[in-house]
A and B are shown apart, each in its own frame.
With several copies, the nearest count.
Chain A
Amino acid sequence: MATTDLYNAEFMDHVSHPDYKYELEDADCTHEGVNPSCGDELAFSVRFAEDGTIGEAAFTGHGCAISQASADIMSDLMIGKTPEQARELCALFMRMVRGEETDEERLEELEDGVLLRDIAHMPARVKCAELAWRTLDEMLAGREGQEA
């Protein structure tokens, strides 16, 4: 079983010392996500750069290690990405944790996100891993809707 592999030093570093867990003062967008059945709560904030890419990303909230590490990893990955690229990465991540995408090369795009690959064998934890990505994806989808 791969569970203890999941909770390895690299992963735990995102939990214990998250780089992106703080209140983003001048956020352009903030969006909240919850997993009612787990009690996980997350608020994800983004500031866009002038070229429209994500300039800064941060989150607050509480939850299990998986949801926290996942949020930290995602924040790091998203900086410099256009909203379209970001949403594609969200989709890719969700396919990975549901076991629908296993192609190593494609998964490399997720950078540290692959630390959560074993979630595919832990269906009960998929929701925890997805929370941040689902929240970001909803935020960006909402923004597209507004602009259109």
Chain B
Amino acid sequence: MDIEKNPYRADFPLLAGHPDIAFLDSAATAQRPAAVLDAQRRFYETMNANPLRGLYSLSVEATAAIAAVRAQVAELIGAPDARDVVFTRNTSESLNLVAKSFSPAVLKPGDEVAITVMEHHSNLIPWQQACRAAGARLVYLYPQQDGTLTDEEIAAKVGPRTKIVACAHVSNVMGCELPVRRLADAVHAHGGHLVVDAAQSVPHMPVDVAALGADFLAFSGHKALGPMGVGVLWGRHELLDAMEPMLTGGEMIDSVREQDATWAPVPEKFEAGTQDAAGIYATGAALAYLTETVGYAAVAEREAALVAYAWERLAGLGFVDLIGPADPARHHGVISFNVRGVHPHDVASILDASGVCIRAGHHCAQPLLAWLGVENLACCRASLAFYNDKSDVDRLVDGLTQVWGIFHGND
């Protein structure tokens, strides 16, 4: 894999227009290829209308466009029925929807919800809330220092009281894949359900709800090359069907009388009000670019080469403490680290001055950073995508050398 060449950069207007920028924050939000921006505009220029209720052709086209993306997403994640794909704003809303609308039906006082300490706040606070509302207990699974979740830990934490296990497919800090299938088997053995946060996996690898054993799965379009504002929640049909809606209003009803209302079938039941139809349409273009134009195989190969190169160079610096699995092959685009003795915010600010965009802070994973014992509850994170190349990594390394020089040059 030749990571000096970059056949993709030209497809991404921001990157093409800013040769001075090394964008290493794709885990926060991806860059978008022109095909996605074109699609979004095309929607507004050719079929802009409020979907679902209109009887005129524009509106019908808008409705059909959304149905097509629903089918595309279903195929992407191996969902047997496109109807079970609910569009939301983002992963956070998807997970809130499960925590608020599914939990009450299954959680009784004394029951348990198990999550890992690696969860993003969006797959953590909603469960704190759901447990509080139900009088249930929120139980944590702790990995080894390298992110590995052992069978012992799973057996110790997932038991007959466990009604829900919620876990990330890929950690946004550790970068590693979690043993989702083993968690599924453990919780299913006790009749519970598995919620998968696939926000960090869909951009990098094929995701199949059946193979994972997921009962619910959430991800965000904007991390997978799509526009901001579109999230997905997939759920097993009978579970979605039995759930109450979280939001009510237009477009999600069957009939409304003054004192009561009945709901439309899944998925409309969960999509109150005017949806971002243009965004959904463009999300379709994004997923097509990701899985057809580029393809997961190429994504994986290129990202693996980039991560391996970055890992080696960062480790070689001598003043960088790397976080997560020691084997770079286990990192899916994400490398978290600290520059010894330097606050991550200062690292990010100094890198920014030379156009290197990384993220610094708690990465919406404070309990993880507390558990890892990271100073200041903060670290740096460089996250790579297939549209990065060797020069991005080189600039990161040069920038870190400069940081070290500023802070320790006269030691």
Contact = CB atoms under 8 A, between A and B. Distances in A.
A2 B406 CA distance: 14
A64 B343 contact: yes
Q: Which of B346, B352, B410 has the most CB of A within 10 A?
A: B346
A1 interface: yes
A146 interface: no
A3 B55 CA distance: 11
Contacts of B378: 38-39
B346 A64 contact: yes
Determine the main DSSP class of B at the interface with A: helix
A124 B402 contact: no
A36 B264 CA distance: 9
Contacts of B55: 122, 124-125
A123 B51 CA distance: 12
B48 interface: no
A123 B377 contact: no
A124 B343 CA distance: 14
Contacts of A92: none
Given A37-B254, A38-B361, A63-B376, A128 B345 contact: yes
B349 interface: yes
Interface in A1-19: 1-4, 6-7, 12, 15-16
Given A4-B402, A40-B376, A65-B407, 16 more contacts: A1-B57, A1-B352, A1-B353, A3-B352, A3-B353, A36-B255, A37-B254, A37-B255, A37-B264, A38-B376, A38-B378, A39-B362, A63-B376, A66-B349, A124-B60, A125-B345
Contacts of A66: 345-346, 349
B207 interface: no
Nearest to B20: A1
A91 to B, nearest CB: 20
Interface in B40-69: 54-55, 57, 59-60, 63-64
Given A36-B255, A38-B378, A124-B63, A12 B349 contact: no
Contacts of A40: 376
13 contacts: A1-B352, A3-B352, A4-B350, A16-B407, A16-B410, A38-B345, A38-B376, A40-B376, A63-B343, A65-B407, A66-B346, A123-B60, A123-B64
Given A12-B406, A123-B60, A124-B59, A3 B343 contact: no
Nearest to A68: B343
Interface in B49-98: 54-55, 57, 59-60, 63-64
Contacts of A124: 54-55, 59-60, 63
Interface of A: 1-4, 6-7, 12, 15-16, 36-40, 62-66, 122-125, 128
A16 B346 CA distance: 14
B274 interface: no
Interface in B368-386: 375-378
Interface of B: 54-55, 57, 59-60, 63-64, 254-255, 262, 264, 342-346, 349-350, 352-354, 361-362, 375-378, 402, 406-407, 410
Nearest to A6: B349
A36 B63 contact: no
Contact of A3 (B344, B350, B377, B410): B350
A62 B407 contact: no
B60 A122 contact: yes
Contacts of B352: 1, 3
Contact of A7 (B63, B264, B346, B375): B346
A37 B344 CA distance: 13
Q: Which of A38, A39, A63 has the most CB of B within 10 A?
A: A39
A125 B349 contact: yes
A66 B264 CA distance: 22
Nearest to B345: A64
Contacts of A122: 55, 60, 349
A40 B361 CA distance: 11
A36 B262 contact: yes
B309 to A, nearest CB: 25
A7 B350 contact: yes
- Across the A-B interface, give the 8 residue pairs with the lowest CB-CB distance, nearest first: A3-B353, A64-B343, A64-B345, A39-B377, A4-B353, A39-B376, A36-B254, A65-B346
Nearest to A64: B343
Nearest to A17: B410
A99 to B, nearest CB: 11
A12 B341 CA distance: 13
Contacts of A6: 349
